Amino acid sequence: MQIPPRNDTTPDSTDRKRKMQRAASAALYTVLVLIALYTARTFIPAVVWASVIAIALWPAFGWLERRPMFRRSHLALAILLTAAIGLLFVVPFFIVAAQTIAEAHDMIRYFHDVLRTGIPVPGFIEHLPMGAQQVGKWWQENLATPLESSPAVKNLHSATVVAMTRHLGGRVVHGFVVFGFMLMTLFFVFQAGSRLGEQLLSGSRRAFGSDGAALVRRMAESVRSTVVGLVVVGLGEGALLGIAYAVTGVPHATLLGMLTAVAAMLPFCAPIVFLGSALWLLAQGSMIAAAGVAVFGLIVVFVAEHFVRPVLIGGSARLPFLLVLFGILGGAETFGLIGLFIGPALMTILVVLWVDWVRD
């Protein structure tokens, strides 16, 4: 009796074979992607920064891309936008550096004088509503004496200063390297043009369906609105407070206005600058000017942080103010500076998933 040959081409076996192949392919793709990400891990921050800037500028880029002068030359448009963004970051840095170098001589001389004689107790301390005696005593013991022998600076040995300088220099060099690769990545993103955006949406739709593509679009809108809310509002705060510095006689009002704008892009950091300026005015005896800067700054920050910024960030992404705040602060704590933009996008995912869950 002859045994018939085994048939392995039944529908069930074919389906099992296809499922195993798909699972193996998915595992292989995942491993390859993880290996590629690990290989390029040093440049991931540059790619993320370039992605954030590209998302923020994408509507303007699309408008320029459709102009007759750039319709046939994506290369010229990519070069123009990349150069503009580079100058936007580099020019303020060189302004600050030039201002610092110009006053380096006076700063060094003041530093040497302070080391020899100390810092006199400011007159406003004795007019403090409370704690004037304690603050004055501490200042007299630690800062009014020659700082070379002051207990407040006795731990600042030369080795510590050298180590801090090396660490700061290393961070600055690393920042310039990341900035350079960010500009390079941004150039290639702009050169690819709208095709890249279409490919990303098509890939998201194929991998996760129409809901996945919609989620990616919502995340991009969230990142864009966060950039507008942080950067534009920060520049507005810096401009208004820069005018206040100039009116009240604070030295280097333009430089302080730029510093305020940068600080205002970080939530609740602008008061560090304008309250410091108010304290300087108070130390000079200008109590009315100091109160004016402090009150005006608090009003500007209150309106910007509680009304303008939540509307800009949460409006297009449809996020509640509390989630906007959690996204910005939690993102900054978890991912660093880039987390200011990633955090609200993650909160957008949370809101979308919750709405879909409740709807289903």
Q: CA-CA distance, 236 to 312, in Å (whole number)?
A: 13
Closest CA to 309 of 299, 297, 296, 321: 321
Q: CA-CA distance, 232 to 265, in Å (whole number)?
A: 8
Instruction: For 233, list phi and psi in degrees, rounded to 5.
Output: -65, -40
DSSP letter, residue 267:
T
Q: CB-side exposure of 4: number of CA atoms within 13 Å?
A: 3
Q: Coil, helix or strand for 147?
A: helix
Q: Which DSSP helix (H) or strand (E) runs through 148?
A: none
Q: CA-CA distance, 55 to 188, in Å (whole number)?
A: 14
pLDDT at 314: 66
| CB-based contact 243:297 (threshold 8 Å) | no
Q: CA-CA distance, 229 to 115, in Å (whole number)?
A: 44
> At how many degrees (to 10) do helices 339-359 and 194-227 cross?
100
Which residues in the chain show pLDDT less than 70? 1-12, 100, 102-108, 110-116, 118-119, 121-132, 140-164, 314-318, 360
Q: CA-CA distance, 253 to 330, in Å (whole number)?
A: 32
Q: Coil, helix or strand for 61?
A: helix
pLDDT at 232: 84
pLDDT at 298: 92
Question: In the chain, where do the E strands start and end?
Answer: none
pLDDT at 148: 57
pLDDT at 213: 75
pLDDT at 164: 67
For 279, residues 6+ apart whose C-beta sits below 8 A from its C-beta are: 290
| CB-based contact 96:111 (threshold 8 Å) | no
Q: CA-CA distance, 226 to 344, in Å (whole number)?
A: 7
pTM of the model: 0.71
Domain boundaries along the sequence of the chain: 40-192, 194-360
pLDDT at 353: 76
Q: Is 36 exposed, middle or buried (0-12, 13-18, 19+ CB in 10 A)?
A: exposed
